[in-house]
């Protein structure tokens, strides 16, 4: 079970991880994109931390919705609308909840992925964050449905996301800025899939 106060801690920990990895994410994006993924994401999550001050009494849905709205308004490029939509869709599923269990997390992740697919017009196999998130979701859902402890199911989700990030090295980008370099993107891991993996790792570390 994750409480609203734990969710605040998780969101702050995500921000710290993204800021810590800012240079690496930017380096990845330099290879196949605009070179601003790490910078933009760090700025966005820095703004999220500021917004979370004074939200200790808010439900989990409100926390995630605020996170999403902040990312949309502060993160440039494609990442802001995509991550922002993901958090807002997850927040809608968790509206008025002060606690979330494993089934809530599955529902929230499903909604987040649906939001990304809708906003990005993307699917798996296109060298995007979905190549990490979709296999992670499948693993999480399978684990929860099998009655596994949330930490066990999330561990499998992170392992699936890690494999997804590795998979992005083997395919050409067909979406977004990276699609401009075509086959030259093969051999490089996707920065969006990488930042998604970081978010999942932080979640695992805090449940």
d(C-alpha 106, C-alpha 205), whole Å: 17
The DSSP-derived string for 82-96 is HHHHHHHHHHHHTTT
For residues 80 and 135, which has the higher predicted lDDT (pLDDT)?
135
Q: What's the pLDDT tens digit per position in 91-121?
A: 999 999 999 999 999 999 999 999 999 998 9
Domain boundary assignment for the chain: 2-205
Cα end-to-end distance, the chain, whole Å = 8
Q: Is the pLDDT of residue 165 over 60?
A: yes
- pLDDT tens per residue across span 40-79: 999 999 999 999 998 999 999 999 999 999 999 998 778 8
**Whole-prediction pTM value?**
0.94
Radius of gyration, alpha carbons of the chain: 16
In 3D space, the residue among 203, 204, 199 whose CA is nearest the CA of residue 45 turns out to be 199
Out of 122-126, 175-179, 191-195, least confident range = 175-179
Query: What pLDDT, on the 0 to 100 scale, is given for residue 78?
Result: 82
**According to CATH, what is the number of the domain 2-205?**
1.25.40.340
pLDDT of residue 31: 80
- pLDDT, residue 184, reads 67
pLDDT attached to residue 185: 66
d(CA 40, CA 46): 10
SS3 1: coil
Please give the angle made by the CA atoms of 59, 196 and 186, to the nearest 5 degrees.
165
HEC assignment per residue over 27-79: HHHHHHCCCCHHHHHHHHHHHHHHHHCCCCCCCHHHHHHHHHHHHHHHCCCCH
Q: Is residue 173 over pLDDT 90?
A: no
β partners of residue 42: none
pLDDT digits (tens, 9 = 90+) for 4-34: 999 999 999 999 999 999 999 999 988 867 7
How many helical (H) and strand (E) elements, i.e. helices and strands, does the chain have? Answer: 9, 2
Mean of all residue pLDDT scores within the chain: 93
Listed residue (127, 128, 130, 156) closest to 141, CA to CA = 156
The per-residue pLDDT for 176 is 66
């Amino acid at each position: 079970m994750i409480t609203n106060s734990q969710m605040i801690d998780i969101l702050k920990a995500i921000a710290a991880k993204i800021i810590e990895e800012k240079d690496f994410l930017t380096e990845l994006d330099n290879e196949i994109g605009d070179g601003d993924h790490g910078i933009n994401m760090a700025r966005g999550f820095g703004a999220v931390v500021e917004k979370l001050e004074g939200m200790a009494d808010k439900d989990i849905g409100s926390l995630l919705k605020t996170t999403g709205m902040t990312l949309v308004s502060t993160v440039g490029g494609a990442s802001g609308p995509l991550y922002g939509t993901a958090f807002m869709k997850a927040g809608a599923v968790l509206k008025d909840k002060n606690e979330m269990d494993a089934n809530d997390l599955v529902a929230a992740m499903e909604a987040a992925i649906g939001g990304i697919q809708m906003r990005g017009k993307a699917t798996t196999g296109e060298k995007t964050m979905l190549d990490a998130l979709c296999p992670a979701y499948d693993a999480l859902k399978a684990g929860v449905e099998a009655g596994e402890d949330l930490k066990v199911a999330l561990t499998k989700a992170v392992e699936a996301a890690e494999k997804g990030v590795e998979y992005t090295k083997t395919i050409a980008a067909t979406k977004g800025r990276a699609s401009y370099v075509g086959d030259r993107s093969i051999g490089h891991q996707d920065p969006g899939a990488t930042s998604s993996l970081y978010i999942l790792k932080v979640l695992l570390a805090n449940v």
